A and B are shown apart, each in its own frame.
Chain A
Amino acid sequence: MRKSLMEILCCPVCKGDLELIVVEESGEEVLEGTLRCAACRVDYPVSEGIPNLLPETACED
């Protein structure tokens, strides 16, 4: 996912803002990382460039 995609992403549960934590990137493209919802205390993974915003696969704090 491109970093600019952050503008249109939100937490799938509370619809609040997500924080991007990059683990591996290539230019503007984030390949591995985490999308964190501070309000829900849940981490959603970015894996192989794809943000996974399905609530049932998230990791709770």
Chain B
Amino acid sequence: MLPDQVYSPAEDSHLLLRAALAEVRETDRVLEVGTGSGYVAAGMLGRAAMVTATDINPFAVGCARARGVAAVWTDLAAGLCGPFDLILFNPPYLPTAPEERMDDWMEYALDGGPTGRVVIERFAAEIGRVLAPFGRVLLLVSSLTGLDAVRELFARAGFISFVVDEERVEDETLYVIRAMRDLCRMGA
């Protein structure tokens, strides 16, 4: 039973876990950012060398710890130095107007700002600091958030990306993109 201030695993969580299980290697140091209930991170236990998870919501951090995941209460990867070989993120991605904001913990799990991409932009700008040189990022993206716009902002941050999995859910399509440093552009 999850506290009602924690996002319950849904189709997006299941899709990210499926993609992560297909991607992970035994030697990977894995980080899940914004883990929520810890469902995806817990699914990686025993499949990687190390699994760490973060959340800005203290109730979520408690849930992840209860699932046996090394959990850190911080914003994205702020209190971590890494390096990590595989970073997973199911971000808050719903386009949300200021008057729609709820001002509670669940909002951090859902609210992507007016474009739906506010937190994703911050993630793309910051995540290189904790990503190993050949590390991979798996990011859940919704058609509501704009697949092309998300891939473009990762490209501007120096990453190449492509879709590795997708699923249609009612009036939305969910994608998982895999991003890596664009090694051809490094030092350019």
Contacts and interface: CB of A to CB of B under 8 A. Distances in A.
A12 B74 contact: yes
B2 interface: no
A54 B79 CA distance: 8
- Interface size of B as a range: 20 to 34
B78 A8 contact: no
Contacts, number: 56
B82 to A, nearest CB: 6
Given A5-B52, A8-B52, A50 B71 contact: yes
Nearest to A1: B70
- Interface size of A as a range: 10 to 19
B80 A54 contact: no
Contacts of B52: 5, 8
Interface in B74-131: 74-75, 78-82, 84, 129
B73 A52 contact: yes
3 A-B pairs with least C-beta separation? A53-B79, A10-B81, A12-B78
Interface of B: 29, 52, 56, 58, 61-62, 65, 70-75, 78-82, 84, 129
26 contacts: A1-B72, A2-B70, A8-B52, A9-B79, A10-B79, A10-B80, A12-B78, A12-B79, A44-B79, A50-B58, A50-B62, A50-B65, A50-B71, A50-B72, A50-B73, A51-B72, A51-B74, A52-B74, A53-B72, A53-B73, A53-B74, A53-B78, A53-B80, A54-B74, A54-B75, A54-B78
Interface of A: 1-2, 5, 8-12, 15, 44, 48-55
